[in-house]
Amino acid sequence: MSTPAYTRLQNDERRRRLLELGTELFTRHAYDEISMAQIAREAGISKALLYHYFPSKQEYFVATLATGAEELRRRVEPDPDLPPVEALTAALDAYLAWIAENSEGYAKLLQSAAVVPEVREIIETVRDATVERILTSVDATQPAARTAVRGWLWFMDGACLDWIAHRDFERQQLLGLLLGTLLGALTASGAALPAGPQLPR
Amino acid sequence: MSTPAYTRLQNDERRRRLLELGTELFTRHAYDEISMAQIAREAGISKALLYHYFPSKQEYFVATLATGAEELRRRVEPDPDLPPVEALTAALDAYLAWIAENSEGYAKLLQSAAVVPEVREIIETVRDATVERILTSVDATQPAARTAVRGWLWFMDGACLDWIAHRDFERQQLLGLLLGTLLGALTASGAALPAGPQLPR
DNA sequence: CACGCTGTCGACCGACGGTCAAGAAGCTAT
DNA sequence: ATAGCTTCTTGACCGTCGGTCGACAGCGTG
């Protein structure tokens, strides 16, 4: 009778711990490599309690992502006073720095994204906005330019994954590769380009 | 007693029909949008019989892919006598033609690929080989060139999906965009390039 | 007509995401 | 101390999923 059957926590505290645990677990395992029952067991609570705090596995996952996403957004947010090309360069550099730090999580996220519709929508929305920003900043309107930028975003993911897997050259060079490829893609799409944006290196 | 409880089919015939049905269903719905029970119901048989012919859902899926994949490989296989750049151009053109014809299936495949490990491995293997072929054909050895080509393969998928979704310019222009971007990516990676490959258009 | 081959099925399994009403921890007022 | 109240927590349950198994039944053969 003296030992309580379970330890009781404050709503906020429990939620905080669950988010923290989720952040760690979802960077180690992809979304569908881990079940809610396992997570609950890992947290030392029942599955029902986990569902008491988060209405579904997807929402739990998204909530877990939100923290890191906010930090990423803050770091990548470019200085609005910079001219477009420099702004893009700076944002891209910050983005690569973040990936270099959180490479595990980045890889697992890309793997999970395909499975969770809600995450796919979020990523899709971000991409739409990014495409729009780039297109207006270089003043391109042709359909092919849109396709070029969209494809380039995929290029980024693929190149980053390959770089993470090998890490056999400098981040600076990756940045040059990305910027140079964007330039090449826009040129190949027939878009007009800002005069002579000399790339680093 | 006069009406049989079920119609009995030859092993080969049943298998053929199931593959045919699978090909159609998996182009309409992605891998995890449809269950084995639904497929069996659609085929007018029991789930157990479906599993009698295919040991798992994954293997069934892969088997349905095999037919189309074989055709694709045949159409894309380049003339070995052509010089590298022309060979690539021809293969790419054939690839785009195939995508234009099978756009639904292509989109659903890319969506399913992320979920089915076996398919991911197959795609990964094909990509490895493609990267290798391109790298040797342009005689590039730097790590960054490898990353450039890998990224470019992602670019292709992204650009093709965008093109499929909009179809607001000619296939020929998409081909130019892809080739031009590959050129740009290789250049940006610092790889030496074959002298003056003038792109179509 | 019996017999065997094998194509076929209903019933079952563990694991999954998700739900529910009941119970127990811990605070407060008496 | 204890009764009562709030709310944090739980065990048991549901439907569906991919996958398995022993038994039945259609059909060609002697």
Per-residue pLDDT of B140-196, as tens digits, reads 999 999 999 999 999 999 999 999 999 999 999 999 999 999 999 999 999 866 655
Q: pLDDT over 90 for what percent of chain A?
A: 84
| Structure confidence by residue, pLDDT tens digits, B27-72 | 999 999 999 999 999 999 999 999 999 999 999 999 999 988 999 9
Chain A residue with minimum CA distance to B128: A162
- Residues A5-33 have pLDDT tens digits of 788 999 999 999 999 999 999 999 999 99
Instruction: Provide the 3-class DSSP secondary structure of residue B102.
Output: coil
Nearest nucleotide by C1' from B32 CA?
D17
How long, in residues, is chain B? 201
Dihedral sign, Cα of residue A25, residue A26, residue A29, residue A33:
positive
Mean pLDDT of the region B106-116: 92
Q: Is the pLDDT of residue A143 over 60?
A: yes
Nearest CA distance, A181 vs chain B (angstrom): 5
- What pLDDT, on a 0 to 100 scale, did the predictor assign at position B194? 61
Q: What's the rounded mean pLDDT across residues A164-171?
A: 98
From the C1' of D8, which residue's alpha carbon is nearest?
A8
Whole-number distance in Å between B131 CA and D21 C1': 46
Nucleotides in chain C with any atom closer than 7 Å to protein CB:
6-11, 15-21, 24-26
Does residue B155 contact residue A152 with C-beta atoms inside 8 Å?
yes
Distance CA A129, CA A141 (A): 15
Q: Do A188 and B180 touch (CB under 8 A)?
A: yes
Are residues A185 and B177 in contact, defined by beta-carbon separation less than 8 angstroms? yes
What is the dihedral sign for C-alpha A26, A29, A35, A38?
negative
- Environment class of B170 (CB within 10 Å of its CB; exposed 0-12, middle 13-18, buried 19+): exposed
Q: Which of A65-74, A146-155, A178-187, B21-30 has the lowest average pLDDT?
A: A65-74
- Contact assignment for A181 to B179 by CB distance below 8 Å: no
| Whether the predicted pLDDT of A60 surpasses 60 | yes
What local confidence, expressed as pLDDT, does residue A11 receive? 94
Cβ–Cβ below 8 Å for A151 and B156: yes
Eight-class DSSP state of A99:
H
pLDDT over 50 at A201, yes or no: no
